[in-house]
Amino acid sequence: MFNLFKKKKNKASILSITVPDQGWNKLSEDEDAVRWVNPQQSALIVLHFFDKEPDLPTAKDLDYLKKFYRNIAATSNGGTIETDILHIHDIPAVKTIIKIPQQETGMVYIASLTIPFENCSYVVKIQANEIGITGMRDAVILSRLMETGEVELDEETMTNWFEDPYDADFKQGTPMNKSELEKYDPEFPEHPLSVARSLIKKIAAEMVFDPTIKELPSFKK
């Protein structure tokens, strides 16, 4: 006999995950995304919910993901800062930080966490733009490293400044430069990369899943 009153499983939604929003202004909220902005830092936090099978190639093969996101960044003349796999409440997630050149000057830094399941996924994205006078962090660290001889500069070439963090031979796009290493963030706490990197770390540590998330079939790839 059929059980006509069989309880339906809870369905995940944009409300199934809560992220620390820093008290920023909420720009919008719908069933697909919630957006917060901090105009003073020219930064944006977005929580996305995709109610379909993820297009992420894998959440297990880190070497493949490094190549995957490196190529994505390079197609926009950008570069990879970080690619990693971590676990949030025991669920695999892919963390990335990339940079994309702005039209006029400076960079846009995009940090993201992708949390895939079999039939849906969540993506938390932080976008922080360089505004005003750009390149100060680069200039300070470049000058310091040239004084120590770690970076050499002549009329045509710059040695040991630009380098993809995972493949020194990859030269497409705009590879990461030495000033973008995390160890320099404390010296430039208001720099958009420092903001994006610290926020994505905070969100990964403090985001909350409701019980619906634990019922979702896991991502197999």
Q: How do residues 32-77 score in pLDDT, each as one tens digit? A: 999 999 877 688 999 999 999 999 999 999 999 999 999 999 999 9
In this structure, how many other beta carbons lie within 10 angstroms of the beta carbon of residue 95? Answer: 19
* Distance from C-alpha of 99 to C-alpha of 107, rounded to nearest angstrom: 6
Calculate what percentage of the chain has a pLDDT beyond 70: 95
Q: How do residues 76-120 score in pLDDT, each as one tens digit? A: 999 999 999 999 999 999 999 999 998 888 899 999 999 999 999
Q: Distance of alpha carbon 64 from its chain centroid, rounded?
A: 17
Average pLDDT of span 205-210: 94
* Distance from C-alpha of 65 to C-alpha of 7, rounded to nearest angstrom: 39
The predicted structure's pLDDT at residue 51 = 93
Residue 22 has pLDDT above 90, yes or no: no
The predicted structure's pLDDT at residue 11 = 82
Residue 4 has pLDDT above 60, yes or no: no
For 147-194, the DSSP string reads HHTSSEE-SS-EESSB--SS-TT--SS---BGGGSGGGGGG-TTSHHH
Kindly state the tokens that stand for 114: 């992708």
Average pLDDT of span 19-28: 88
pLDDT band at 139 (very low <50, low <70, confident <90, very high): very high
Q: Which of 2-11, 105-114, 201-210 has the lowest mean pLDDT?
A: 2-11
pTM, two decimal places: 0.89
The predicted structure's pLDDT at residue 7 = 40
Element of type H or E holding 84: strand 79-88
